[in-house]
Amino acid sequence: MALQLRPNCEYCDKDLPPNATEARICSYECTFCADCAENKLHNVCPNCGGGFAPRPIRPVTVMRPGVCVDKQPPSDKRVHLKYSLEDVAAHCAKYRDIPPERR
């Protein structure tokens, strides 16, 4: 099963196309831009509490049969935070000093 490759940052709504090198995801595929993940969320996913990693880039060209961005298109469904910015800030502040592998 391929990653959804969500089209936007859930925090600031910045567009994150499939080839965006600044896209960050948690293990649940929550998606944020690098600026929000690092400077607003402090490497704490506001949805699950996990950390972030760079989102992989799905190849544009077919290197193996049926495997490329055209054959497995990214999601077009925009996702937004379900928590208030105040709640997100408090959540991130609570966990930011605990390494993701210990949360």
CATH number (domain holding residue 43): 3.30.40
Whether 94 maps to a domain, the answer reads: no
What is the count of structural domains for the chain?
1
Whether 87 maps to a domain, the answer reads: no
Global pTM exceeds 0.85: yes
More confident residue, 1 or 98: 98
pLDDT in tens, 49-77: 999 999 999 888 898 998 888 888 999 99
Residue type, 99: P
Whether 101 maps to a domain, the answer reads: no
Task: Give the pLDDT of residue 4.
Answer: 92
**CA 7 – CA 74 distance, rounded (Å):** 8
**CA 40 – CA 92 distance, rounded (Å):** 8
Whether 85 maps to a domain, the answer reads: no
Whether 82 maps to a domain, the answer reads: no
**Full domain range(s) for residue 28:** 1-75
Whether 48 maps to a domain, the answer reads: yes
Whether 36 maps to a domain, the answer reads: yes
3-state secondary structure of 79: coil
pLDDT in tens, 29-46: 999 999 999 999 999 999
